[in-house]
Structure 1
């Protein structure tokens, strides 16, 4: 009697299913207002509504839903997923003795961070699976009582019972329990029409069969195929045993998702199919994204509804804010300042503060607001603007910490409400998301009053409870990249089907860890075999619909986006004995990698911004120009430099800076610099080192830095012995960190000399530069001897002033300058009337033998003049804006990433 209310209507497969469905519905347009049309997916529903509007204009549209929506009609009274998740977490964390659940957890859980949250998510997914057939875990345990899984499911049922009691104590009822009591059918409808629904939850299927009103199943097959469908139109397993037709267009096997997109574009282009006649889709989401990119690039604006969206906006902001609540490091603050929403919380100038923070983290290794506050108080800033920027950054950090403190106090909901009100001012999109979050907050407040949890817990729960925004099609799109189930509802006569690989078609379940295929069968849930029957029918129907005047091209890949090996869909191998060898030969042929035979060409080139050449040239930067003028431009004009903001130990620059700072303070102490005893010198340096480290880190220096500090202390011990002997030999420190300036053309060369010594008897001078890293002898660190076989970089020549004739072991030799630092120090002293000093390095390396003073013996006035001439030449080229070409080879390259494996000359637009 009940079955008589269900009818099957076979629409045939001589045309695509959507066109026939629209025609059938329009023949009954008077019934449409009271009709509910069920389609496989939301996207196929959108396609149906569009087709109805195109065919009939302002016709009254029926209500269009998916099978899964019938499981949610009772959600108005059901506990939300997020509240049920809280119940699971509460129950799991309350269990002290896990012995009762030994069959489920041989080892008690709880070792990992947030273990209860992760396990609660798994339990929710399992309950959702059971809801397909209106089962609770207790029902499943009874059905599986005589299987090897019996004890495990009994333990799950006991856990579920505790969760249900917890929900009941909150005045809530789970959706699982509501569905177990019976499925409620929606009111206000007179007829349900199943439009191409080849798979349905068993609970919903039973409800449709039992409904006292009319249920019509529209099937995209001829009536002579009736034996292949259930009374309500579900494809039966007999479809998996049938031979499948071979596409009348082509079947291609290519390397990877990108190649699939290229091949699909080629096929459509060669056939000249209009966009409104193309049915384009993929059973593989990754291939679908490549299809959308490829067609859009070629002038076919394309929409991929299933594209994986990038989490952004306020949702992403709160994930970063949650990290700040957990640990308010300056690294977390840096991430916050990278997001536009933070601007309203830091009184504007967000980008400037982000830049300042990056610079100070790199320069000072500050990790927290206290570190920042201490360093700002102790620092002597170069300009007032730098000081103001640092103080504004500190104020922003303190403001964010105040917000954090309010979140961590008892009234989380009040703090969250205030913050949402502030963030809503960021713009319309943020305001919309903020309103949704405020509504969630209002719904959650009653639960918050019953469950005591921290702010990060509630924020994470809120983010899981706010639905992701639905992707919107771009303006002017001409194609949609459909998924597998949606393709059945695409009317185009030219079907291009990608991603035809096993595991995609037929589809396999998601690998549910709690439910085996045998268990799903026993519980009456949807199985892989059910999906295989569904997909076999859909594939067969889509090919049959395009036999007359249409075309089908099928593309599958050898590898996935991650390089994993793939097999062709078994549907492509469903053939008779005579056809099978040919299909196997085609589908399993060798495929060349996508880059085989290709010649690399640059699609684009870098275009550095144009800036004025610097007017004040640091003496050490001249060596960068001599090495490579273009890299000099990037570093010193554009200020493009890498940073190490998150380092936990001193890098080479930090180590050198700390060394110089201690030695500068020692050199400025006129009493200490005259010490002649190594012990006194070392005691002074050691105490000052402690003060400098405290200025950097306060009382909490990282372990790695403490180790580095002791290594530096050892070097200072060796230095103290060398310095004491140097003092006894008559050398006196007369100046440290002497600022000098050499005018050259329209610019100035500026420098600070680490140290100047004078011999108290002879009056000789030495200019010294401290070096903590590896260096050659002083002369080799500044110039290179050229031979007849030496090849110069393209920006240099034998005639330029960087090359000069000097003396080597009593013979004339040709030299190339690559560093002008110490010679120009000497030139600066000579210009002020001092006798020419000897250039020296004071090396402080990791062994005692490498801590010594090294002098450039034989440094002559001719060398000094040559260095000045070279500096004039370099300064003139910089002033003229000559920064090209880049050197092909450099000793160390900070900009190799820009070359992408090639040369900078190839990758930069000049």
Structure 2
């Protein structure tokens, strides 16, 4: 029976036009639509149609007996008959993995012309996923891999490949059959041959579905033999020749059909990056506020990459955005926990452990079990990683067993190790269920709370997947537990959950949903080529030409569909609404974008103007969000913290001279940047390692007078290895091993210099000499790396080891150009006829606090151990004028007095190396509560 086509016109949105066809007049009594089966394109369209029908009947205070409203998937859904054993995703992928791992790939040269590097479960899982995606595309056209080979082998350009694919599919289907399971795609094809309508239905309405898949049309064709079918087309009857019998737009007409955009100079907009598009969309909403109410507007988002930018911009303006596409289950904490646990089980790496421990639910659980706070646990994690740079579960366990300070972390690590043992001992599904119960057993849920409702939905989706572990026969497939967990995570990425919308939300709907949105004001963002029209990327198995050959939906079909849909969106709002089309110039990553070719379906006269406009620069070349300070930092010390400095190390003078405020953050508040992302020794640790070896040399009576570089080098070698083993164990990370070899080269060069110094008559008298004294009531401490004395002349040298990349001169480190006037004069001095500023006081202060050394016989210098070992050697600060020492003392006293008076303001400007740069995204005075801090400073004793 041929379906009856009815053209509804397109001067109103789809839902309103369909409502008129179903309830054409004012209802005088109950409306009975219960004998209708209405097929709509999507679940969201189903919801919108139900709402429209219910609202209309409620307007007339009449009852509605709702029709059956379904999507095309209704006829072939695999859950329709619970008695049948249709395989789930896990079972299917597991069966494929078994087939692929057991296959001799040499028997399939068409599919695998080159040898596969490793035919393991990881490769098999990737290949299985690819093959199932291919089969999913084929089933839409009533095909399988075998049917493509059987029906089209003579026409295929790559016949050997398809022959191999067909043979592997046969083995896969046989494996499922042995397990008593039916492939889901085969089930769909079988069901399409025996379609029936629900009991009591006497008519079918195909409502505005512009591109039903061939498999869906087979179902509808079978249904047409049983019941009358009406096809509602959202277009005027004058365009009847532009559609086929099922209401699909014909390519030959729509690929050239004009799209009449009213006031194109006003309704076609160009913006730059996604954030600029979001701002442009919000400006459009504001411009239309005098004509349209908040609930009358909708934003279409064909490009899903724009959604977060639009949500952020709407939220900034106090508007809530609702994404009807829902959220991927992988974005929910419960799925993220499973993914983190799977990574920990598979990798047993520190990075995986860190991610798992930092998961909010895991952190809460571990804090409760270890009776510690999140601050303590995370701080111990940072300290542990900074100290040991652990790479694996084994190295973590070894270091924690010998580390007595990190009690909470040690207990937490033990608890997380138990989870891995549970997975090893038990079936994966059972182990995961048990672990999840431990983690969430004390969580109380209120379904009326949005977050709890989302948790319930996510947990139910996860539970369904966990139940599949019982039927997927993963052990028999040869898929190890690590890859079984990976398979679960991959399946969770396919799951979605749908938060409930709130009143006043602005919908952000995808392209195929927009026809069913009846908002009179429609803004379409992301009108770019590749998005609209929907052009699929090239497929290695199914290029566009082969899709046409196999009668699958292809790019030309989607092009015709999208032209028709855009025309419908515009025409349905021409009289009482507005449609704005917004194209972007660049993607979020900066890649250039082309405007959609649909925007060029205009008259020949209009085409040049439109092209010039759309290919020109947007009004704003770049529009980023300005940095905003949502709250200012109160940087006063906590009540329990000491507010005043009682002692200073010699090296701390440098910090104050560079920036008083940063000195305060570092040495008064004790703020330091701890990160557990470190992969190698930092500069300080690298220097400490070299200092350790050199100190051991200075403590050895034989070595410090040794004149043989080779012997000295061998000694330093041993000390270096001892330090590394004590710190990182016998198997340090690769990055550390590389650094150790670099240090070894520097120490060999240092051994050569040390032997030469001994030959010249220099004696290493002190190493790591502690100094202590007082200045202006402040206790001063420090450690001098080495003090040498010449055995003949009696001259002295105070030397500091420098392990930076480049050799340094003491004057360059201690002096700098004068800075802007900050009210401090004690840091200024004249060097010849040039004014300089003290940046550091380290070496001369060492001299001041070594009264046992004759001042007129002391030289200051660096023992440089740079990356370029040819530059290794002593660099002396000569001449060092005696009057400079008075300037040093005056500067040190000035620093001390300022610290005692709490003078930590104003801060220095930008610094090349700023430990606190991440705290201050704008100027420091804009980021802190200055008045409160000034009051703190004025309260100095």
Q: 269-278 or 880-889: which moved more?
A: 880-889
Instruction: Note closer, same or farther for the CA distance 1:219–1:748 as it changes in structure 2 (3 Å cut).
Output: farther
- Give the corresponding residue for 1:55: 56
- Give the corresponding residue for 2:147: 139
- Give the corresponding residue for 1:172: 181
Instruction: Note closer, same or farther for the CA distance 1:159–1:373 as it changes in structure 2 (3 Å cut).
Output: closer
- Give the corresponding residue for 1:328: 348
Q: Deviations over 1:693-716 (max 9, x none)?
A: 221232224341442243144134
Cα distance in 2, alignment partners of residues 32 and 743 from structure 1? 95
Q: Deviations over 1:712-758 (max 9, x none)?
A: 441342254156447x55x463563526364655x644433334567
Cα distance in 2, alignment partners of residues 151 and 303 from structure 1? 49
Q: Does 1:781 align with 2:789?
A: no
Task: Kindly state the Cα deviation for residue 819 of structure 1 after the two structures are TM-superposed.
Answer: 0.9
Cα distance in 2, alignment partners of residues 265 and 778 from structure 1? 58
Instruction: Note closer, same or farther for the CA distance 1:680–1:226 as it changes in structure 2 (3 Å cut).
Output: closer
1:624–1:632 Cα contact (<8 Å) kept: yes
Instruction: Note closer, same or farther for the CA distance 1:875–1:62 as it changes in structure 2 (3 Å cut).
Output: farther
Q: Does 1:281 align with 2:288?
A: no
Instruction: Note closer, same or farther for the CA distance 1:400–1:667 as it changes in structure 2 (3 Å cut).
Output: farther
Cα distance in 1, alignment partners of residues 909 and 475 from structure 2? 67
SS for the counterpart of 2:862 is strand
1:195–1:217 Cα contact (<8 Å) kept: yes
Q: Deviations over 1:801-830 (max 9, x none)?
A: 21246xx6xx79865321122333333344
SS for the counterpart of 2:279 is helix
- Give the corresponding residue for 2:933: none
- Give the corresponding residue for 1:104: 111
The aligned runs of 1:277-676 (5 Å cut-off) are 277-306=296-325, 311-343=331-363, 344-345=365-366, 347-348=369-370, 349-368=373-392, 371-372=395-396, 388=405, 390-409=406-425, 411-425=427-441, 427=443, 428=445, 433-434=458-459, 436-446=461-471, 447-466=473-492, 467-472=494-499, 475-588=502-615, 590-592=616-618, 594-595=620-621, 602-604=627-629, 607-612=632-637, 615=645, 616-637=647-668, 641=672, 649-668=680-699
- Give the corresponding residue for 1:383: none
- Give the corresponding residue for 1:227: 241
Q: Deviations over 1:136-162 (max 9, x none)?
A: 211122232221243332221111101
Task: Kindly state the Cα deviation for residue 665 of structure 1 after the two structures are TM-superposed.
Answer: 3.8
- Give the corresponding residue for 1:770: 801
Cα distance in 2, alignment partners of residues 73 and 411 from structure 1? 27
Instruction: Note closer, same or farther for the CA distance 1:846–1:556 as it changes in structure 2 (3 Å cut).
Output: closer
Pick from 812, 815, 824 the counterpart of residue 845 of structure 2. Answer: 824
1:239–1:533 Cα contact (<8 Å) kept: yes
Q: Deviations over 1:106-132 (max 9, x none)?
A: 224445983322221111111111111
Q: Does 1:243 align with 2:268?
A: no
Q: Does 1:803 align with 2:828?
A: yes
SS for the counterpart of 1:445 is coil
Q: Does 1:162 align with 2:171?
A: yes
- Give the corresponding residue for 1:67: 72
Q: 413-422 or 456-465: which moved more?
A: 413-422
Task: Kindly state the Cα deviation for residue 333 of structure 1 after the two structures are TM-superposed.
Answer: 1.9
SS for the counterpart of 1:496 is strand
Instruction: Note closer, same or farther for the CA distance 1:510–1:307 as it changes in structure 2 (3 Å cut).
Output: farther
1:219–1:233 Cα contact (<8 Å) kept: yes
- Give the corresponding residue for 2:721: 690
Cα distance in 2, alignment partners of residues 24 and 881 from structure 1? 81
Q: Does 1:266 align with 2:283?
A: yes
Aligned residues: 879
Cα distance in 1, alignment partners of residues 516 and 912 from structure 2? 62
1:39–1:66 Cα contact (<8 Å) kept: yes
Cα distance in 1, alignment partners of residues 119 and 896 from structure 2? 61
- Give the corresponding residue for 2:742: 708
1:678–1:717 Cα contact (<8 Å) kept: yes
- Give the corresponding residue for 1:44: 45
- Give the corresponding residue for 1:384: none
Cα distance in 2, alignment partners of residues 846 and 291 from structure 1? 49
Q: Deviations over 1:354-382 (max 9, x none)?
A: 33222332244333455456666778xxx
1:361–1:367 Cα contact (<8 Å) kept: no
Q: What residue ranges of structure 1 are gaps of 5+ in the alignment?
A: 380-386, 785-789
Q: Deviations over 1:632-663 (max 9, x none)?
A: 34544555555675555544322210122223
SS for the counterpart of 2:656 is helix
1:37–1:193 Cα contact (<8 Å) kept: yes
- Give the corresponding residue for 1:736: 768
Cα distance in 2, alignment partners of residues 534 and 507 from structure 1? 9
Pick from 205, 208, 212 the counterpart of residue 196 of structure 1. Answer: 208
Task: Kindly state the Cα deviation for residue 15 of structure 1 after the two structures are TM-superposed.
Answer: 2.0
Instruction: Note closer, same or farther for the CA distance 1:222–1:553 as it changes in structure 2 (3 Å cut).
Output: same
Q: 561-570 or 315-324: which moved more?
A: 561-570
- Give the corresponding residue for 2:863: 842
Cα distance in 2, alignment partners of residues 470 and 644 from structure 1? 34
Instruction: Note closer, same or farther for the CA distance 1:89–1:825 as it changes in structure 2 (3 Å cut).
Output: same
Instruction: Note closer, same or farther for the CA distance 1:709–1:627 as it changes in structure 2 (3 Å cut).
Output: closer
1:248–1:552 Cα contact (<8 Å) kept: no
Task: Kindly state the Cα deviation for residue 480 of structure 1 after the two structures are TM-superposed.
Answer: 0.9
SS for the counterpart of 2:206 is strand
Cα distance in 1, alignment partners of residues 519 and 868 from structure 2? 77
The TM-score with structure 2 as length reference comes to 0.83
The TM-score with structure 1 as length reference comes to 0.86
Q: Does 1:152 align with 2:168?
A: no
What root-mean-square deviation, in Å, do the aligned CA atoms of Structure 1 and Structure 2 show?
3.8
Task: Kindly state the Cα deviation for residue 336 of structure 1 after the two structures are TM-superposed.
Answer: 2.0
- Give the corresponding residue for 1:382: none
2:771–2:850 Cα contact (<8 Å) kept: no
Instruction: Note closer, same or farther for the CA distance 1:544–1:886 as it changes in structure 2 (3 Å cut).
Output: same
2:326–2:497 Cα contact (<8 Å) kept: no
Q: Deviations over 1:744-781 (max 9, x none)?
A: 55x64443333456778998865443222345444553
Pick from 8, 11, 18 the counterpart of residue 11 of structure 1. Answer: 8
Instruction: Note closer, same or farther for the CA distance 1:547–1:638 as it changes in structure 2 (3 Å cut).
Output: same
SS for the counterpart of 1:200 is coil
Q: Deviations over 1:39-88 (max 9, x none)?
A: 22223333333334433348454443322343324564321122111112
Task: Kindly state the Cα deviation for residue 610 of structure 1 after the two structures are TM-superposed.
Answer: 0.7
Task: Kindly state the Cα deviation for residue 538 of structure 1 after the two structures are TM-superposed.
Answer: 2.3
Pick from 869, 872, 875 the counterpart of residue 893 of structure 2. Answer: 872
